[in-house]
Structure 1
């Protein structure tokens, strides 16, 4: 979805942001960095952009008052896209704004990088992009170098591992009126204090496109089958797996989703269909996220969800049965003599 084989690094500013709650401060550079070394530029491009190659979810800036200009990051970034000569000044404003939000005791101090890229590809189109990145984790590196008839060693402390980007976001200069296209990464903090990056600092919402529509309906259906069905129906684990397999088959074979078609082909039970539609409605109300009844299916979202759709029937700690096809070829029973449940599996030949 995002690639950078044509990308160039046009400008870079570096600042340091401390933890306000710990009485640390911020340090602003007076001007952007003048990088002449092309190898260093390529290293930085890889460090900043390579983590986004596997990114699938795209966000947009938002503000609770629905006025995008009240979103501070959107405001500073928009000014840069409109007036390139304001790049460094706005990078300083971004650093000060992030500092004001760094008031949780567990937020780490670190360097803030604001970069301007040209020709970054997203969804098949090339755009300029502004990257905002923060490095928090420092490591010690060993250096081995030849000396006289052998080798010697030294080390460098407080160095940055260029294979691990701690936090970052990429803002693409497209769809400005809708809040741009934004990709985000937060590798270091996944607990409550981490909301300051995506929710407080950036103020992002998931873009409501075909990817997210597909991802959401598959997630809702999976939870419906694995959690809700037991409340309303007497259903075996094998039947649940069969329902999950049928849904995945539907999404892999169809080009578009239609809720009535899906329900009739996959659930095929009037009470079950009504229960699923009510469950979907409850999800939309709880999370304030509308899922359309019809939309084009995103193959990327199907691939993502396929990883968590389990087709494994676990029997005590002795056996796992993988059910991929016709559920009618497996029967469940009970052996009175052994006082144990059993499954009978039918097949034509071993492979």
Structure 2
């Protein structure tokens, strides 16, 4: 969804942000970086932008009362109005990050604020403000020629350019909605430390076709695997069949329709009513309405297909992969062996 083949890193400022609860402080640089050569600029683009190439979810900056009270939204507006103010505003961004870095699990690290030109999202090119934080350092060995042989040295507290810890890209589009934003956070994933998205950026996921598709498949999967046992007596093979049928529906259809989906996939009127109630509870709990009809996103289907399980695990002896007609597999109990069994019917062995 995000590509940067035509992009240019126009300016970059670096600051250090510590953790308040550990009596650490922040350190602000006096000016933005000056790049020695084009190689440094290209390496920084690789470090900052490459991780977003596989990100599909698009967010908006938000505030429960007034979007203008969202600090990052306010700062982004200043930079987009005058990109020459990037370093000045980056200092305010660093102070804001420090103010929300009070949880003891939050790691200190360098904060980077950059201005990129011609970054593509959803087929359109935009200027972008990138905000990134590096928290984890590594040690690297360096091998180089020396006299008639080689010498080995090392570099401590170095940054792996293939492992960006935290970052977000704010695109100069959809300002009234809170800009388009993509984000990654590879550290501090526990609920008590998800400050990057919630406290620092204050994000709300955009409710587009991708997220409608993704959320519906996720809700249905949880309903089948966690909720159905409370109301119906079902085997694991039955559950796998329900998951397979739902995935088949989403792969074959271009548009989702709630009544059509529940009728074709679930079938049972009681289970249909239970699923709709389960979906309504999700919408209320997470304040995320899901339409009864929307265009299906193939990218979201591919994402969910990776976590939809069609494997029936039997002790540690057998795995049965169920992809088709569940009527061709029967479950029973052998009284002599006092063990469960499955009987599988097929025409040809391949």
TM bucket normalised to smaller:
over 0.9
Which residue of structure 1 lines up, in the alignment, with residue 140 of structure 2?
Answer: 141
Which residue of structure 2 lines up, in the alignment, with residue 49 of structure 1?
Answer: 49
**Contact in 2 for aligned 1:107/1:193 (Cα 8 Å):** no
Which residue of structure 1 lines up, in the alignment, with residue 113 of structure 2?
Answer: 114
Quote how far apart the aligned CAs of 1:334 are: 2.1
**Contact in 2 for aligned 1:68/1:74 (Cα 8 Å):** yes
Which residue of structure 1 lines up, in the alignment, with residue 198 of structure 2?
Answer: 199
Which residue of structure 1 lines up, in the alignment, with residue 231 of structure 2?
Answer: 232
**Contact in 2 for aligned 1:17/1:112 (Cα 8 Å):** yes
Which residue of structure 2 lines up, in the alignment, with residue 159 of structure 1?
Answer: 158
Distance 1:107 1:275 in 2: 41
Residue 162 of structure 2 aligns to a residue whose secondary structure is: coil
Which residue of structure 2 lines up, in the alignment, with residue 251 of structure 1?
Answer: 250
Which residue of structure 1 lines up, in the alignment, with residue 123 of structure 2?
Answer: 124
Distance 1:301 1:70 in 2: 32
Distance 1:106 1:179 in 2: 29
> 247-256 or 340-349, which moves further after superposition?
340-349
Quote how far apart the aligned CAs of 1:194 are: 2.5
Which residue of structure 2 lines up, in the alignment, with residue 321 of structure 1?
Answer: 320
Which residue of structure 1 lines up, in the alignment, with residue 76 of structure 2?
Answer: 77
Quote how far apart the aligned CAs of 1:226 are: 0.9
Residues 205 and 42 from structure 1, CA distance in 2 versus in 1: closer, same or farther, beyond 3 angstroms?
same
Which residue of structure 1 lines up, in the alignment, with residue 302 of structure 2?
Answer: 303
Residue 238 of structure 1 aligns to a residue whose secondary structure is: helix
Paired residue total = 350
Distance 1:249 1:192 in 2: 34
> 28-37 or 140-149, which moves further after superposition?
28-37
**Contact in 1 for aligned 2:114/2:131 (Cα 8 Å):** yes
Which residue of structure 1 lines up, in the alignment, with residue 209 of structure 2?
Answer: 210
RMSD over equivalenced CA pairs, Å = 1.1
Residue 112 of structure 2 aligns to a residue whose secondary structure is: strand
Distance 1:345 1:167 in 2: 49
Quote how far apart the aligned CAs of 1:192 are: 3.3
Which residue of structure 1 lines up, in the alignment, with residue 104 of structure 2?
Answer: 105
Quote how far apart the aligned CAs of 1:70 are: 0.3
**Contact in 2 for aligned 1:109/1:136 (Cα 8 Å):** yes
Distance 2:227 2:195 in 1: 33
Q: Which runs of 5+ in 2 are unaligned?
A: none
Distance 2:280 2:21 in 1: 42
Quote how far apart the aligned CAs of 1:287 are: 1.9
Quote how far apart the aligned CAs of 1:36 are: 4.3
Distance 2:264 2:328 in 1: 20
Q: C-alpha deviations, 1:275-297, integer Å up to 9, x for none?
A: 11111112212222211111111
TM superposition score normalised by structure 2: 0.97
**Contact in 2 for aligned 1:19/1:107 (Cα 8 Å):** yes
Which residue of structure 1 lines up, in the alignment, with residue 284 of structure 2?
Answer: 285
Distance 1:109 1:342 in 2: 55
Which residue of structure 1 lines up, in the alignment, with residue 293 of structure 2?
Answer: 294
TM superposition score normalised by structure 1: 0.97
Distance 1:321 1:314 in 2: 6
Q: C-alpha deviations, 1:115-152, integer Å up to 9, x for none?
A: 00111111111111110001111111111111111011
Quote how far apart the aligned CAs of 1:193 are: 4.1
Residue 273 of structure 1 aligns to a residue whose secondary structure is: helix
Residue 64 of structure 2 aligns to a residue whose secondary structure is: coil
2:342 aligned with 1:343: yes
2:32 aligned with 1:11: no
